[in-house]
Amino acid sequence: MDRRRFLTLTGVAGLAAAAVPATPALAAAYPSADSGLTAEAHAKLIELAPYGVTALAFTPSGGWVMVTQDGRYFARGIPDACYTELGALLKAGRKINAIAFPPAGGDRWVITTDRGVSARGLPEACLTRVKAYYTAGQQVVDVAFPPAGGDRWVVVAANAFQANGVDDECYQMMRNLTQGGRRVTRVAFPKAGGWTVVAQDEFFARGIDDAAFKKMNALAGGGWQLHNVAFAPGGGWALCSRGKVPALPADRVRQFENAVGGSTIWQRMSAYKTPGVAVAVVVGNKIAWSTGYGRLAAGGAAAAHPESAFQAASVSKAVAAVGVLRLLQTRKIALTDDVRPLLGWTLPSRSCVPSSAAPTVDQLLTHRAGVIGRGSTSPAGACSGFDAGGGGFAGYAASATVPSLLEVMNGEGNSPKIELTTEPGAEYHYSGAGYVLLQRMVEETAGMPLADYMRQEVLTPLGMTTSSYALSPSFELASGHTAAGAVIPGARNRYPESAAAGLYTNVLDLCRLVSYLNRAWTATGDIAGPLSRTSARTLLTQGPQPGMGRGLFIAGSGTQNFSYTHDGSNYGFRSVFKGYPELGAGYAVLANGSDAALVNEVAAGIRSVYGWA
């Protein structure tokens, strides 16, 4: 049945009185654009757009409907029940926020208004979510359905959104766009695939018509807000605005995204062949915002989110150091104690190391215990003139047998045996092997694996629920990538040297740690958490090694810009985090690529936006 409603300025004979606004409004200069529509739809959009279109939608079979903010409307080929309900709602004085049609077609539709929802044939979970927002006092401003159909949908409320079954990158961008003080206002899906997300003065699109994308940029460049974006089933599209972008606060997230390596974060990720990056920032000792970019694996469907777990690489040492300080605090072990009696194992020494040499816990934490890491032990019997580099571990591929910690210590894995190579305290050599000994000390003293100890004593108390020192945690994990951008064999190497390189975590958990350490440092007494004020101060105060606390590198002591940090590099992963106790600030960056320059550029972009050292 053909249903039409349209009002011109002069009126049209035969139109129902309900279609006429009580007080006719003068047309404004609100812009619109379209392509590939029927001649009639194109003409009606031009006629109605100046009055401020609030709802614009296409049915799967090519029908369409337009509604303006003053109650004008026109429909062609939409379900009869939808048309009838729309007229009744407008007659009752309702303001129409959105109209949408599920891709299954037929008598399926939804109309959201300023006071409630009318719908037929929606996925049950979608309708439940719409109603829940209204019950909570939030208007629903948009509903959208991906073309694949089924239980796939997006519901956008005034200050929230929920999505089910949509492309993960689309959800990623919906989340990202809301992190800078913006609200998602429109989501749209072309039938051929792709999507676009609008958040007031920002938008992001993937796989849409080039001409539509250019016109979106042109309208936004003119200061217009994109209030409606809709795609017709035949490939056409329509855009319209009903006003300029309102005054909004500065968007730190967008500033950051455009300040990475002199370009954008996406361009730099492409340049470094890194598929995924996650970022979180602390301001006022709270997580101010968090974002994800790209994918967890090259060519995969899962997007990188702030909640996604990456290998933290050597950031593992910094977090493990919190556990070590916790152990010392609770077991009354001194930093100056000889670590050897706590190992349950005899630490070998090279012949040139004095027999009286006693490596301490503090020296291990600060890489001065005389234990030199992988790659720096040649020549085998020497005590000086070592090869440059080293200090880390290669890990074990999925196809390899993972040795026990004791086998690692005895050199039965893919790294040399751990031994005293130089006199403790005499020299600085960055040493993953030293943290293996600390891991052994924790496990022997606590009577449990490091993963269990850290979960119980550090991670759970700090709310770091997506962090684990287990070889293969159960939560969703990012895949590592080579310098060429290919997924590494087996996706991730495994690291039995857990304290040195085996932590899985996400940027939210790392920023929870940053917030805790900042507050513990500035507090006048003990606060809730694993460390006393004394232990927290010890962790972040320079120890035997200049420029180092215990397990963390520090700078600017005694100033407002005092900071602590650690970075990391595992096969296929890069990481960095930093805290500023006196500023109540910090950040974390995790990436599943092989070039540390990217995480350094991302970190520099954050610092430049906030003016941090």
pLDDT band at 381 (very low <50, low <70, confident <90, very high): confident
If asked whether residues 219 and 146 sit together in one domain, one would say yes
If asked whether residues 318 and 454 sit together in one domain, one would say yes
Residue 205 lies in a domain: yes
> Quick one: how far is CA 68 from the chain centroid?
37
Contacts with 136 (C-beta within 8 Å, 6 or more apart), sequence order? none
If asked whether residues 183 and 322 sit together in one domain, one would say no
Query: What does the pLDDT look like over 8-27, one tens digit per residue?
Result: 222 222 223 334 444 445 55
Residue 229 lies in a domain: yes
CATH number, domain of 475, equals 3.40.710.10
C-alpha–C-alpha distance, residues 289 and 267, integer Å: 21
If asked whether residues 236 and 324 sit together in one domain, one would say no
If asked whether residues 21 and 120 sit together in one domain, one would say yes
Percent of the chain surpassing pLDDT 70 = 94
If asked whether residues 452 and 592 sit together in one domain, one would say yes
Residue 392 lies in a domain: no
Q: Per-residue pLDDT averaged across 335-364, rounded?
A: 95
Residue after which a domain boundary falls, among 219, 248, 277:
248
Res 377: pLDDT? 67
pLDDT exceeds cutoff 80 at 450:
yes
Residue 2 lies in a domain: no
Residue after which a domain boundary falls, among 205, 232, 248:
248
Question: For residue 593, how many C-alpha atoms fall within 13 Å in the half-sphere facing its CB?
Answer: 27
Give the residue among 512, 593, 1, 601 at the shortest CA–CA distance from 297: 593
Residue 403 lies in a domain: no
Residue 356 lies in a domain: no
Residues linked to residue 592 through DSSP beta bridges, in sequence order: none
C-alpha–C-alpha distance, residues 397 and 469, integer Å: 17
- 3-state secondary structure string across 70-104: CCCEEEECCCHHHHHHHHHHHHCCCCEEEEECCCC
If asked whether residues 241 and 317 sit together in one domain, one would say no
Query: What does the pLDDT look like over 541-551, one tens digit per residue?
Result: 999 999 999 99
Residue 257 lies in a domain: no
**β-bridge pairing 202-206 and 32-35:** unpaired
C-alpha–C-alpha distance, residues 462 and 488, integer Å: 32
What tokens does 222 get?
């003119």
Q: Per-residue pLDDT averaged across 304-315, rounded?
A: 98
If asked whether residues 226 and 328 sit together in one domain, one would say no
C-alpha–C-alpha distance, residues 118 and 137, integer Å: 16
Residue 473 lies in a domain: yes
Residue type, 453: Y
If asked whether residues 517 and 590 sit together in one domain, one would say yes
Q: Per-residue pLDDT averaged across 255-280, rounded?
A: 98
Average pLDDT, the chain: 93
Are 313 and 573 contacting, i.e. CB atoms less than 8 angstroms apart?
A: yes
pLDDT band at 388 (very low <50, low <70, confident <90, very high): low
Number of domains in the chain: 2
Whole-model pTM: value is 0.92
pLDDT band at 389 (very low <50, low <70, confident <90, very high): low
* Beta carbons within 10 angstroms of residue 560's beta carbon: 10
Residue range(s) defining the domain that contains residue 67? 17-248
Q: Per-residue pLDDT averaged across 361-387, rounded?
A: 81
Res 491: pLDDT? 98
If asked whether residues 315 and 197 sit together in one domain, one would say no
Res 10: pLDDT? 23
Residue after which a domain boundary falls, among 248, 283, 300:
248
C-alpha–C-alpha distance, residues 234 and 38, integer Å: 10
If asked whether residues 208 and 326 sit together in one domain, one would say no
Give the residue among 450, 558, 547, 462 at the shortest CA–CA distance from 512: 462
- 3-state secondary structure string across 305-342: CCCCEEECCCHHHHHHHHHHHHHHHHHCCCCCCECHHH
Q: Which residue has the higher pLDDT, 355 or 38?
A: 38
pLDDT band at 612 (very low <50, low <70, confident <90, very high): very high
pLDDT exceeds cutoff 60 at 537:
yes
If asked whether residues 112 and 30 sit together in one domain, one would say yes
